Amino acid sequence: MYPPELIQPMKEDLTRVGFQQLETASEVDASIPGSKGVALVVVNSVCGCAAGNLRPGVKLSLDQEGKKPDHLLTVFAGVDTEATQQARKYFLPFPPSSPSVALFKDGKLVHFLERHNIEGATAAMIAENLAVAYDEFC
């Protein structure tokens, strides 16, 4: 388990811009499958690609003009284990991946970025990928 003082700034990087932190399986179940509209779910992580690529890219995607998701949700891999495991059930057929980003429309998975899509990408590339998905599904 990571020390809370290490993780808190990483969680706040997303909650500060409106993401709801899901910490239990029941919070995940109440938020993803029955969601109306479009839900963006970020699996946050302590890894460098989450700090350098994922979180900046996700935030940039929300700053751009155009359509946006209705719900912003996040779980933290390696910290909120129960919530992350439950969220990953909704990501099937994709294998567990940290970090990752899922887009749901009316509770159905419609777009997914795995770690390998994030590691070599810039924040701008991630933002563009998500903006295209927002245009299609929001």
DSSP tag of 81: H
Of the candidates 7, 25, 47, 125, the residue annotated as catalytic is: 47
Of the candidates 39, 40, 49, 83, the residue annotated as catalytic is: 49
DSSP tag of 79: T
Q: Is 138 an active-site residue?
A: no
DSSP 6-74: HHHHHHHHHHTTTPEEP-SHHHHHHHSTT--SEEEEEEE-SSHHIIIIIHHHHHHHHHSSS---SEEEE
Asked if 38 and 138 touch (Cβ cutoff 8 Å), the reply is yes
Helix (H) or strand (E) holding 99: none
- Report the 10 Å Cβ neighbour count for 54: 30
Q: Which residues are marked as active site?
A: 47, 49
